[in-house]
Amino acid sequence: MAEETYYDVVAYPPGSYRQSHPDRLATLATLLGMDVTPVGACRVLEVGCGDGSNLTPMAVGLPGSEFLGVDLAAAPIARGNAVIAQAGLRNVRLEALDLLAFPEDAGTFDYIVAHGFCSWVPDVVRKKLWAVIERHLAPNGVAYASYNAYPAAHLRNAMRDMMNFHVAEQVTPSTDRAAVGRGFLTDLSGAAKGPEIWKQVLAFESERLAKQRLDVISHDEMGAFYNSFRFAEIVAESGLQYLGEASLRRLFTPLDGELVKALEGFGPKDLIAREQYLDFLEFRSFRETVFCRGSVQLDRDGVRGRIGKTYLASPLEKDGPGTGGATKFRNRQTDGVIQTNHPDVIRILERLGACWPSAVAGADLPDATEPISQLVAAGLVELRTHPLVPPRKAGRMPVASSLARVQLASGVRTTNLLHSRVEMNSAEARKVVGLLDGNPSQAALEKASAGIRGGVDGVLDLLYRHGLLMY
């Protein structure tokens, strides 16, 4: 039996990370000129998968693909496998496994994910990750790794050092370390003397940690292993080719003029050095870096021309006339409002809003490259290589995500087909989710929907807009 880990003792909270979804990785790679394996028929490996709360929702939305998660901690693996069994999923499995013993005959994977891993394991395990990727990443595969980055990580290192010193002096029980450490930092911030910059740093970090859950602080800030890296150091150690960061907006957003001028003054000779200098200039603390094999030929100059190879989606819905003859759109996710007079933008947003959360093929929106690029840069339109949410089909009763049926049967949170966390506070809506198993009773649906505006149609619309239904 494997030795018990701290993750067995103090559970890490469940979470799904959209930036690590294979579709996000495939979209970035496609825009940069790669010919990747379609995410609807691929193999995915997640290293450090925990209870599978990041991996399992991917398997629900991509039933034609195969998913494997590995983690050293046995307890979260057992919890995750119980959920997988309840949801009846056959295309995902979790294994309690020391990465150092990763089987050489595991085959190749089209997408390899290691979120929250590199900075929280011993050096030998992190280096093994790169060896696993080297051996098992498909020739046209894409890998993702997140990690604490310098220079801003210097501040987090300082906070960790002080908190760990204090809890050791107090002989604090392991389960109380995070609460005691955070409380100490709050007290320290209020009592600190010396240079004003030090008081500001302490106040900033104390405020940041005040927003964090204690179980997250226990692992992310005060765990046994904690490392930070320069970006260029990680790229060199990986032996892989740098694709980009998991944020697609960076591809479409030109650098600020002052940053461009500063970079020219520092004289970086290549892309890696340029990115490293940007970390110094922007005070980066965390990176979500995407890699491919060095043999892959990339084209970084043709990004906008490949929008037609993607799908487009937007949560903006038309919200009536605006001021001065403009058309107003409201963001379903943030409730923010934009107004525009641009006819191409209006046309695009009206079409995307009508099918949200599904998507429209970019090839179906010809001659709109420039406005789409601007909308992506502004975070108002997202690009995908897969619709992720099937379009609605008139007259057909949908099936709810099997994971949502399991999770909403005992709680109010689930992960939807967009790989985002959803909170469903309506008990009636949660009951309807449970009924949508492929053969629901119309009478039962009507009874469960009685307290919801619009009845059955209203609740189905609500659930679809939340990305929980498949048609």
Note whether 284 and 337 are same-domain residues.
no
Note whether 234 and 193 are same-domain residues.
no
Question: How many domains does the chain divide into?
Answer: 4
| Tens of pLDDT, residues 194-248 | 899 999 999 999 999 999 999 999 999 999 999 999 999 999 999 999 999 999 9
Q: Name the residue range of residue 204's domain.
A: 153-219
Roughly what angle, to the nearest 10 degrees, separates helices 369-377 and 343-355? Answer: 70
Note whether 443 and 407 are same-domain residues.
yes
| Tens of pLDDT, residues 138-184 | 999 999 999 999 999 999 999 999 999 999 988 777 778 999 999 99
Label residue 333 exposed, middle or buried (CB < 10 Å: 0-12, 13-18, 19+): exposed
Answer whether residue 92 shows pLDDT above 90. Answer: yes
SS3 content of the chain, % helix, strand, coil (to 5): 45, 15, 35
Residue 302 lies in a domain: no
Label residue 335 exposed, middle or buried (CB < 10 Å: 0-12, 13-18, 19+): exposed
Residue 333 lies in a domain: yes
Note whether 145 and 161 are same-domain residues.
no
What's the whole-number mean pLDDT along residues 417-442?
94
Q: Residue 409: enclosing H or E segment and its boundaries?
A: none
Note whether 238 and 264 are same-domain residues.
yes
Contact 69, 99 (CB under 8 A): no
| Tens of pLDDT, residues 182-200 | 999 999 999 999 899 999 9
Note whether 55 and 200 are same-domain residues.
no
Answer whether residue 1 shows pLDDT above 50. Answer: no
Contact 303, 252 (CB under 8 A): yes
Residue 301 lies in a domain: no
Query: What pTM was estimated for this model as a whole?
Result: 0.94
Neighbours of 303 (CB within 10 A): 19
pLDDT of residue 346: 94
Residue 394 lies in a domain: no
| Tens of pLDDT, residues 245-274 | 999 999 999 899 999 999 999 987 899 999
Q: How confident is the model at residue 2 (pLDDT cuts 50, 70, 90)?
A: low
Distance CA(330)–CA(312), nearest Å, equals 17
Question: Taking the CA atoms of the chain, what radius of gyration do you get in angstroms?
Answer: 24
Note whether 262 and 358 are same-domain residues.
no
Q: What percent of the chain has pLDDT over 70?
A: 100
Residue 1 lies in a domain: no
Roughly what angle, to the nearest 10 degrees, separates helices 177-191 and 196-210? Answer: 150
Label residue 216 exposed, middle or buried (CB < 10 Å: 0-12, 13-18, 19+): middle
Contacts of residue 320, Cβ cutoff 8 Å, sequence gap at least 6: 328
pLDDT of residue 171: 78
Note whether 129 and 10 are same-domain residues.
yes
pLDDT of residue 175: 75
| Tens of pLDDT, residues 330-350 | 998 888 899 999 999 999 999
Contact 227, 15 (CB under 8 A): no
Note whether 270 and 418 are same-domain residues.
no
Residue 287 lies in a domain: yes
Note whether 118 and 262 are same-domain residues.
yes
Sheet holding 337-340, edge to edge: 316-321, 327-331, 337-340
**Number of residues in the chain:** 471
Note whether 343 and 459 are same-domain residues.
no
Residue 305 lies in a domain: no
320 against 295, higher pLDDT = 295
Q: How many CA atoms lie within 13 A of 328 on its CB side?
A: 10
Instruction: Out of 219, 250, 268, pick the residue that ends a domain.
Output: 219
Note whether 121 and 250 are same-domain residues.
yes
